[in-house]
Amino acid sequence: MTTQNPGAIERTPVIPLPSGAARPATAVGALATAASAFLAWTWTSEFPGDLTISGYPGGLQILTLVGAVLTLLFTAASYRPRGLRWLIPTGSDNAVALLALGTFATTWFTLIAISTELGGVANLEPGGYVAGAASLICLAAALGLPLDRRAKDHPHTNPAAVLLLRVSFAKRPLKAPAPLPGWGEILIVIAAYATALGVFTYGIDTSYAELFAGFLIIAVFAVTALGQAGILARLSAIAIRQRPVAVAAAFAAAAAFPFTQTDDQYATIGVNILIFATVALGLNVVVGLAGLLDLGYVAFLGVGAYAAALVSGSASSRFSSVHFPFWAAMLTGAAAAMVFGVLIGAPTLRLRGDYLAIVTLGFGEIFRLGVLNSDGTSGPNITGGPNGIHDIPDLKVFGFDFGDSHDLGGLSLGRFSNYYLLMLVVTAIVVIVFSRASNSRIGRAWIAIREDETAALAMGINGFRLKLLAFALGAGLAGLAGTVQAHVTFTVVPEQYQFAGPVPPNSAFLLAAVVLGGMGTISGPLIGASLLYLIPAKFQFLQNYQLLGFGVALVLLMRFRPEGLIPNRRQQLEYHEGDLPGDIGGPTAATPAKDVAGLTQAGA
């Protein structure tokens, strides 16, 4: 039916697929897949994880079991029983389909990996065949569940088309939940962050690449399914109402990570993730709030690291007799980076777009070449040239030596665990600064410049001064993280601060972290940076193809989720103007304005 408005979009009715036996078949397939995890999938223990033991799942079998149990649970919840109704607030069956797809992908990835590494499907035991068949039946049945989407070219008989609709589905508006007491919401927030800590710890502790790949597959589909079901939106609303508790719980969960580790092997990855994430959050001030494309941002991290290293008391420092306390070294690094931000921004921030990006890219290379040549031969002897500044001593704060192991509550914290906790405090400071700045009048002016600089200037905003302030603040935050990086790595060398390189942080990966996570948000760059650091650290054998992989990932992201993994509400509405919840065609004359506003608020 069309409206009288010539600009309106034609509406078509919902045409569900036949699904009389879809739910029971999905449940049976999920149950059989879960049972197959207790059978042997291969005869030899050469494949990592030891999948040869019947009655005891191991390695990738555990991930298949988790996916199958979640699929079974959500299938049961789709019948809307009173005890499980809270699992699918939106009432959508897409969560079931996505979980079935994740279980299928994890299972078949394992079977293909076994066949590839061991030399053929002959290395599969009957349990492997049962798992493959059961997960396929579960997925095929789940695709037969009713589609909750208006579309134009139905009926959907092509499984690939049905699958695409499941993934790109616009969520239904959430119904108002039953009110919970304050203590109940607090318990939910604590449980959510405890679960997030457990999932993150499991992922970072995976001991081989195949297990981490399987973890990524099931985690991506599970998180997407929770979003489609409406659970993430409900948790977000509760966290907003209980903001102080949510912030405290998030910090406590992050601080508890070192206590889940038996050694410093993965605490090393943790502290580097925090450094990378903190610098990405500083870049988010420049790119996400002010809309300035900076391709040489890693140079500010280098300025802070070199400034702190020069006054750290290192024997290789040009000023080896100077040994600042840590707080003074942090201020020195942040101030030096901020000064460089002003010096670079003052003559260049009158440029816009690609021209500004080229200038910042040039600054990054000038910094790297400058410290490379400051070796006393090609230039002044300041930075040590290609050898850099090494033997940077460990920090000592109030008698606490970060280089020594310390026992706390029966648990031993190693060197990198100590620096992880220190970097967590620095990250918290940067988050507070970013949050206060973005919610201030200056932050709103930055957003106005990002959206339309000409209109902002016409409204009386001093664009140049505010852009320079954003540049200086972002540089200072990067310099703050650089002071900790210098002590964590013992040395600073020019190769650490390139535009693109095999090891983050570098300017390309920092920018990718901001775009991937979600520009203008706090949690977006933190999550984006974590993924971009953790994935290369786990897939060492793919180092030569990292840039290709990230390029493909960004292209797919721009196609299916251009607002990033954690979008802010403004960008989500801009990029999905025609995909309001419950109305794929967008608002028309037949949709009252108050209804559109209500749907928008529910979907955000």
Q: What is the CA 485 to chain-centroid distance, rounded?
A: 21
pLDDT given at position 570: 66
**Phi and psi at residue 381, to the nearest 5°:** -85, 90
Which ranges of 311-414 does DSSP label H, i.e. alpha helix? 326-348, 353-373
Task: Using CB atoms within 10 Å of the CB of residue 309, give its burial: 0 to 12 exposed, 13 to 18 middle, 19+ buried.
Answer: buried
pTM of the model: 0.81
CA dist 463 and 306 (Å) reads 31
Continuous segment of H or E residues that includes residue 408? strand 406-408
Q: By C-alpha distance, which of 203, 179, 181, 195 is closest to 249?
A: 195
CA Rg, the chain, in Å? 26
Cβ contact 478:279 at 8 Å: yes
CA dist 167 and 164 (Å) reads 5
DSSP 451: H
Tens digits of residue pLDDT in 148-162: 444 434 444 455 555
**CA dihedral (240, 246, 251, 256) positive or negative:** negative
CA dist 535 and 212 (Å) reads 9
Helix axes 60-77, 209-229, angle to 10 degrees: 10
CA dist 106 and 98 (Å) reads 12
pLDDT given at position 260: 84
Q: Is 291 helix (H, G, I), strand (E, B) or coil?
A: coil
Residue 397 β-bridge partners: 400
DSSP one-letter string for 86-128: GG-TT--SHHHHHHHHHHHHHHHHHHHHHHHHHTSGGGB-HHH
DSSP 411: E
pLDDT given at position 149: 44
**CA dihedral (328, 330, 332, 338) positive or negative:** negative
Contacts of 262 (CB under 8 A, 6+ apart): none
Cβ contact 397:220 at 8 Å: no
DSSP 506: S
pLDDT given at position 461: 86
CA angle 220, 424, 323 (to 5 degrees): 140
Cβ contact 70:228 at 8 Å: no
pLDDT given at position 580: 41
- Taking residue 543's Cβ as centre, other Cβ atoms within 10 Å add up to 11
pLDDT given at position 543: 66
Cβ contact 96:74 at 8 Å: yes
CA dist 128 and 69 (Å) reads 18
pLDDT given at position 9: 35
List the chain residues with pLDDT less than 50.
1-19, 148-157, 169-170, 579-604
Q: Which of 384-420 are b and which e, b meaning 16 or more Cβ less than 10 Å from the residue's Cβ?
A: bbeebbbebeebeeeeeebeeeeeeeeeebbbbbbbb
